[in-house]
């Protein structure tokens, strides 16, 4: 059964970098995922698709400050030069042949 796990919260200082983690369940380490950003009181926004080999394709207009990497069953979203508008929820999601699953989301606070 495909399960996606995220830490509930993270924080980092303005101008610093942060690495958010998304973990795929056992047996699903080759699956791709997608990252979505949700700023307060707004709808989700596609950031990128991230493959198991670390290759990723970002959405239109997503700044270079956002990047992704992979290691085994873990998928990472790295945000550098944090800005106040980066504060919000970050959702990880994956999919199989006939099922799609979200993680619980990570709430990012910019200090």
Partner 1 sequence: QVQLQQWGAGLLKPSETLSLTCAVYGGSFNDYYWNWIRQPPGKGLEWIGEINHSGNTNYNPSLKSRVTISVDTSKNQFSLRLSSLTAADTGVYYCARGRGYDCWGQGTLVTVSS
Residue pair 66/47 in contact (Cβ under 8 Å)? The answer is yes
Class of residue 107 by CB neighbours under 10 A (exposed 0-12, middle 13-18, buried 19+):
middle
Task: Pick the closer one to partner 1 by CB: 14 or 56.
Answer: 56
Task: Pick the closer one to partner 1 by CB: 2 or 12.
Answer: 2
CB of residue 14 to partner 1, shortest distance in Å: 26
CB of residue 100 to partner 1, shortest distance in Å: 4
Task: Pick the closer one to partner 1 by CB: 15 or 104.
Answer: 104
CB of residue 16 to partner 1, shortest distance in Å: 26
Task: Pick the closer one to partner 1 by CB: 43 or 84.
Answer: 43
Residues 6+ apart with CB under 8 A from 52: 29, 30, 31, 32, 70
Instruction: Please report, as ranges, the residues that interact with partner 1 according to CB under 8 A.
Output: 32, 34, 36, 43-46, 49, 59-60, 89, 91, 93, 95, 98-105
Query: For 86, which DSSP code?
Result: G
CB of residue 88 to partner 1, shortest distance in Å: 13
């Amino acid at each position: 059964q495909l399960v996606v796990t995220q830490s509930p919260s993270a924080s980092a200082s303005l101008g610093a970098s942060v690495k958010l983690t998304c973990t795929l369940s056992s047996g699903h380490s080759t699956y791709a995922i997608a990252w979505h950003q949700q700023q307060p009181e707004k709808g989700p926004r596609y950031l990128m698709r991230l493959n198991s080999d670390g290759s990723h394709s970002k959405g239109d207009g997503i700044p270079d400050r956002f990047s992704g990497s992979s290691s085994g069953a873990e998928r990472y979203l790295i945000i550098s030069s944090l800005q106040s508008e980066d504060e919000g929820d970050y959702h990880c999601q994956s999919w199989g042949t006939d099922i799609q699953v979200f993680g619980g989301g990570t709430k990012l606070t910019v200090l």
